Amino acid sequence: MRRAILIAGPTASGKSALALRLADRLAAYGGASIVNADSMQVYRDLRILTARPSADEEAQHPHRLYGVTGAEEASSAMRWRTEALAALSDIWASGRLPLVVGGTGLYFRALLDGLAPIPDIPAAVREAARARHADMGGAAFHADLAARDPNGAARLQPGDSQRLIRAWEVLEATGRPLAAWQREPGEGLGAETLRFVLMPDRAVLKARIDARFMAMIEAGGLDEAAALLARNLDPDLPAMRAVGFRELASHIKGQADRDTTIAAGQAATRQLAKRQMTWMRNQMSDWQSISQQDESFEKEIFTKISQSWLTGSR
């Protein structure tokens, strides 16, 4: 039987560390492989700023879909789902148990429920959409989309460049509005899952976020940001919007001092965590919510896994 453990949670909630400890426990039962479900940790250029597992941590147990995409590319939920399904198939074939870990709620929804079967958009169309947006500006681009897809444009703001460009390119490439595609049902995962969402106390999470951002700076986060900035990539690419990157880029350009940069980066990360927790609270209400991580909590999770699966066949 195909089975998977899903671990979601906001940034800095301890998901990766938990996955490693669970993988250690599962070593005696055929082992586990850890699969990334974070939209920023797919980018190889941002190991420090996205808090990807270190090389030493990745060596402890198999890791999949971490650092697999260049910053010059625009990954997507559909692309990730395709790659995740392939990774899960490999893991199941190896006799291991997959631990799917991340903070991107849309990725978990895509994995479990599927996505609308929107065809791949040709690279030329994607490039034309970005160029058109850059040339016209957000307001004019929004009006242009509204003339062709009024219902779709009405749900978007002129400043939401990513979604505007996506709506335009789908319409241009397929001749159908994005909403029409999204009404078509997707294909579910078709596997038995145990689902956990980490929801730490806000004060605890704030302290973790602030400490981790400082640790990122000390570990070379500024150098990593400078290397990415030097590539002069399209600022609308997803990797260029990684939390903390914009703040560090301002410092590198001489627009903010170090203390101001750190405070702004910490604040941006806290805002991300707040948005993630709101989404997860609303969309993952049927997942087992964990508010406090300690030895008893980890034992509780492993006991549940053991009672559900490890005493039977896999």
- Separation in Å, CA 81 to CA 111, 149, 186, 234, 287: 6, 27, 11, 24, 20
Longest dimension (CA), the chain: 61
Tokens linked to 80: 């990730």
For the chain, the domain total comes to 2
Q: 151 and 111: one domain?
A: no
Tokens linked to 37: 């479900």
204 exposed, middle or buried (CB, 10 Å; 0-12, 13-18, 19+)?
middle
pLDDT in tens, 42-86: 999 999 999 999 999 999 999 999 999 999 998 989 899 999 999
174 exposed, middle or buried (CB, 10 Å; 0-12, 13-18, 19+)?
middle
Q: Is the pLDDT of residue 313 over 50?
A: no
Q: 131 and 275: one domain?
A: no
Q: What is the CATH number of the domain that holds 77?
A: 3.40.50.300
Q: 10 and 128: one domain?
A: no
Backbone φ, ψ for residue 100 (5° rounding): -95, 120
Q: 251 and 129: one domain?
A: no
Give the range of the structural domain holding residue 264, as residue numbers without chain letter. Answer: 3-115+186-310
Q: 99 and 158: one domain?
A: no
pLDDT in tens, 173-203: 999 998 888 787 677 898 999 999 999 999 9
Q: 192 and 165: one domain?
A: no
The pTM (predicted TM-score) of the whole model is 0.83
Residue 63's CB is within 10 A of a number of other CB atoms, namely: 24
Which of 272 and 296 is assigned the larger pLDDT? 272
Q: Which residues is 5 bridged to in the sheet?
A: 99, 194
Q: Is the pLDDT of residue 108 over 60?
A: yes
Q: 222 and 304: one domain?
A: yes
